[in-house]
Chain A
Amino acid sequence: MAETMRPAETTELGVGPLVPPQLPLAGEEDFEIQLESLNQWQLAWRRFKRHRLALIGSVAFGLIVLIAIVAPILWPYDVTDIPGAKTYGGDAPGLAPLSRLFGTDFGGRSVLQQVLVGARISVEVGVFTMLIAASLGVAVGSIAGYFGGMIDGFLMRFVDLLLAIPFLFVILVAARFFGGGDVVTLILIFGLLSWPGLARLVRAMFLSLREMDFVQAARAVGVSDLRIAFRHILPNALGPIVVSATLIMANAIVLEAFVSFLNFGIRATDVSWGNALSNSQGYLLNGNWWWPFFPGMAIAISVISVNFMGDGLRDALDPRARE
């Protein structure tokens, strides 16, 4: 009988070592099933793994990043090398058996190679724009939300100003003005212009979290304001910040393609997805659908995978989310 009446020790699918039932100390914890405590990163990873789309998204994006790093080294692309001029339908060195998988463009160059090598600029633009915008946005938003008053008013009016300026015109003008089609310039322009939304978000998070009881409790025990900002407020604002940052990244990838398509972005001698689209625009009506199709798909896939990743991260980083 004692055997059959044992408490639910053998449940929980064997997750974590089981701790023998202990005597309740406070009365209300009699029926607790003890699991080994996981730290919050392990828990976050566990929740992330359960999010299938996010997992697919991050694998896809990881692959894209890998391609972005490797492809330009393995299959260097030279726009002046027009195989079609010499032979009909040239093969990219090293890509040989696959180089015509996505067809060739008007110069006889491999579209596959352009898609692979073009990933670098998109990833660079996406990642570094996101880093710049996230640091600026978090910094400005934290300062505004944390100090409040005049500083807040000043910073937020500045943000309003930036948001009121038509983004596209500024980018086009700035790209032309500072430009020369340099990636770094483009990243700086995107980064410096895409933080205001995030700053507003961070500020709002600060304002609401500042009133939470656990922040008040930290103040009541004498924790310094700076530590409160970094240990209590920012970690709890992480989820929305991450989502917003991934959105900025996806947006920057699209923006690069768009600006390059308009010939205001990456210089025409570099290969990027936007440039590939731009080059194909005159030929689409001839039925050469593969010229824009594959670079376009590459843009779409990277944007979607980044968004899925952000979605999964938000859920994973929410410590209140139930198992």
Chain B
Amino acid sequence: MSDATAAPSATKADPTGRDYGSSNGQVLLKVDGLVKYYPILGGLLRRKIGDVRAVDDVSFEINRGEVFGLVGESGCGKSTLGKTLIRLHPPTAGTASLDGEPIFEKRGKDLKRLRRRMQIIFQDPVGSLNPRMPVSDIIGEGLLAQAEKENGWGDRKVRDKRVGDFLEAVGLRRDYARRYPHEFSGGQRQRIGIARALALDPQFVVCDEPVSALDVSIQSQILNLLLDLRREFNLTYLFVAHNLSVVQYISDQVAVMYLGRIVEVADVQRLYSEPRHPYTVALLSAVPDPDPRVRKKRLVLKGDVPSPAAPPSGCRFHTRCWLREHLGNPENCVTDDPALREIGTAAGHRVACHYAERVSDAVVERAAALQPAIVADVAEEV
């Protein structure tokens, strides 16, 4: 464990730079069979009449120092997953451990101590800062809550110094501590949110779409800041986002979620170059290319995401799956729930599809060709 009172200037960077974490392969966070249901209450007596299956049996591991990207459409459960992991929402079932210590069993003092080690950065730079508190209190509040004899955070002077240190660490001026959130721009506010999370010296940080509410010009600044800070403070990120390019830029490992399930996991190059789940393939085909001359063949999924309160039987993606259609609607897509399995392309590349081995460039091209009207539309737009 790192020294809780370490000043941000005490750089603990690894000389190998960006991929120092992924190389040592030590598991920091392990999630096993995590389930999070939200009850649907109905009727006069507010009885439970069903569940929204936000996260349904999700297992994965994050190595120390890695950025684990989590992508998926809105409402697929990726934010819920992150917030459940750091104990903002109680899990319905499953286990998780941070550095070997169970996360979900902690209560009272133990939970509070655990909270220092896992933090969160929010999406909305406006809503994540209390408009009635000066920055010194916003960042210092966690220090005060976590004050102990050893770290001396109970002392106002120590706290103020640390607040200043971390404002500088995220590229802001020390004296901004006296100001209120409304005096800052979106990017600056996001930096304050990052400083708040890092001031507690966490090991693991959930980045819940930290750049999706920002201007494009500022997104890259914040992404690079996050990468720098990861090196400086030995951080491990769970990076939740729906922007595939952002995830590709920042992640070491990427998991794709659909309706509360992880449908594909792989390291970033593998996933973006050789996607094997039909959903991943469709998502990637929708990434816009900055070059206007490139005519992309885009696989357009039919219909909407089904309700997570009543997910489809068998494979959850079968209602919208182009591959299933292409293969002549095999029966087991509807009846059997595919497990997340290694498909032999590379170690750690796991896909939850019965027919993952059938996905190839040729198949994708043929499937795309079957929807000429749509492809033409996309080409027109581009």
Q: Which of B130, B178, B217, B218 lies in contact with A236, CB distance below 8 A?
A: B130
Contact with B along A10-27 (1 / 0, CB 8 A): 000000000000100111
Q: Which of B132, B145, B183 lies in contact with A37, CB distance below 8 A?
A: B183
Knowing A220-B115, A221-B196 are in contact, say whether A26-B142 is a contact too (CB < 8 A): no
User: Is A213 touching B127 in the complex (CB atoms < 8 A)?
Assistant: yes
Contact with A along B117-129 (1 / 0, CB 8 A): 0111011100111
List the one stretch of B70-78, B185-193, B290-298 in contact with chain A.
B185-193
Contact with B along A195-238 (1 / 0, CB 8 A): 00000000000000000111011111111100100011001100
Q: Which residues of B contact A26 (CB under 8 A)?
A: 171-172, 187-188, 191, 221
Knowing A213-B127, A216-B83 are in contact, say whether A25-B145 is a contact too (CB < 8 A): no
Knowing A214-B127, A236-B131 are in contact, say whether A223-B185 is a contact too (CB < 8 A): no
CA distance A11 to B47 in the complex (A): 61
- How many A-B pairs fall under 8 Å by CB? 94
User: Is A220 touching B88 in the complex (CB atoms < 8 A)?
Assistant: yes
Give residues 299-323 of A contacting B (CB, 8 Å). Answer: 319-320
Contact with B along A127-171 (1 / 0, CB 8 A): 000000000000000000000000000000000000000000000
User: Is A214 touching B178 in the complex (CB atoms < 8 A)?
Assistant: no
CA distance A28 to B128 in the complex (A): 20
CA distance A216 to B196 in the complex (A): 13
User: Is B182 touching A37 in the complex (CB atoms < 8 A)?
Assistant: no
User: Is A214 touching B128 in the complex (CB atoms < 8 A)?
Assistant: yes
A29 on interface, CB distance cutoff 8 Å = yes
Instruction: Report how many residues on chain A are interfacial, defined by Cβ distance under 8 Å.
Output: 28
Q: Which of A25, A216, A227, A236 lies in contact with B173, CB distance below 8 A?
A: A25
Q: How far is the CB of A193 from chain B (nearest CB, A)?
A: 28
Q: Which of A28, A220, A224 lies in contact with B188, CB distance below 8 A?
A: A28
Q: How far is the CB of B121 from chain A (nearest CB, A)?
A: 9
Knowing A221-B146, A236-B130 are in contact, say whether A25-B171 is a contact too (CB < 8 A): yes
Q: Which residue of B lies closest to A28 (CB)?
A: B187
Q: Which residues of A contact B172 (CB under 8 A)?
A: 25-26
User: Is B145 touching A224 in the complex (CB atoms < 8 A)?
Assistant: yes
CA distance A218 to B120 in the complex (A): 10
A interface, CB within 8 angstroms of B = 22, 25-29, 37, 39-40, 212-214, 216-224, 227, 231-232, 235-236, 319-320
B interface, CB within 8 angstroms of A = 83, 86, 88, 111-112, 115-116, 118-120, 122-124, 127-134, 138, 141-142, 145-146, 171-173, 178-180, 182-183, 185, 187-188, 191, 193, 196-197, 200, 217-218, 221
